Amino acid sequence: MTVHAIIGGTGLTQLEGLTLSAALNLDTPFGAPSAAILRGNYAGAEVLFLARHGHPHRLAPHRINYRANLWALKEAGAEAVIAVNAVGGIHPDMGTGHFCVPHQLIDYTSGRVNTFYEDDTQAVEHIEFADPYDAGLRAALCAALAAEGCAYSSQGVYGCTQGPRLETAAEIARMQRDGCDLVGMTGMPETGLARELGLPYACLALVVNPAAGLSSTPISMADIEQALRAGMDQVRATLARVLAGA
């Protein structure tokens, strides 16, 4: 069976139901990952879990050591990665509580270290990245969402912004023109780094708010937290179905 790593984002700093066998505090050539990597059994499958923002949630999106996170997961034995992301909805279909398994992304970040090929210690490899997400993992996530009866979209374009502030209405309008369906802050460089390491990678995105300027009321952190609480049971059930069928 494939050993899956789950990277938990905002709202998923721990994986309830995980039968823990080890907590791995790994060092990497790029420093320490966000938190200990938890190895255990979930839905009858071996799984690795990492809290992207640390546990408790403390690391802003631009301060996450993405390279250490991905490197440590591979060192721990990960063979594929499912990333859970809380996002804002841009496309009209992407309302609060809706799930999306994106097929494309646009990177709007700046200043993040986005490659393992940062110095001259090894030959640079220009990875193929036309389709950033793994088709097999995406199909498994979509099948699990359908089986759970979740409202979801089987594709979408994820726009990754710098954060930690939310976007302006004009920025979201630009992203709409660019073709983005979702907005988040952690999709890159995580996705690209997984590709550099040869790790199949897919994103399970939960919409927790309408993006800036697309609602008649301001974005409220209380509303976001409520949407996260409401959606996490479905996230865990979806992950369990994917792992059980791996």
Residue 162 pLDDT > 90, yes or no? yes
CB atoms within 10 A of CB 19: 9
DSSP state of 122: S
Q: What is the pLDDT of residue 118?
A: 78
pLDDT-derived band of residue 246, with 50, 70 and 90 as boundaries? low
175-186 pLDDT, tens per residue? 999 999 999 999
Name residue, tokens 């200990």. Answer: 36
79-132 pLDDT, tens per residue? 999 999 999 999 999 999 999 999 999 999 999 999 998 776 667 788 899 999
- Under a CB-based contact definition with an 8 Å cutoff, are residues 238 and 145 in contact? yes
- Binding-site residue numbers for phosphate are 10, 52-53, 186
DSSP 177-197: HHT-SEEESSSTTHHHHHHHT
Distance CA(121)–CA(212), nearest Å, equals 43
Beta carbons within 8 Å of 130's beta carbon, 6+ residues apart: none
When the pLDDT of each residue in the chain is averaged and rounded to a whole number, the result is 93
- Binding-site residue numbers for substrate are 185, 209-211
190-239 pLDDT, tens per residue? 999 999 999 999 999 999 999 999 988 888 888 888 999 889 999 999 99
26-78 pLDDT, tens per residue? 999 999 999 999 999 999 899 999 999 988 778 999 999 999 999 999 999 99
Q: Which domains does the chain have, with CATH numbers?
A: 4-120+127-244 (3.40.50.1580)
- Binding-site residue numbers are 10, 52-53, 185-186, 209-211
Tokens of 31: 């420093």
Q: pTM for this one? A: 0.94
Per DSSP, what are the bridge partners of residue 100?
153, 205
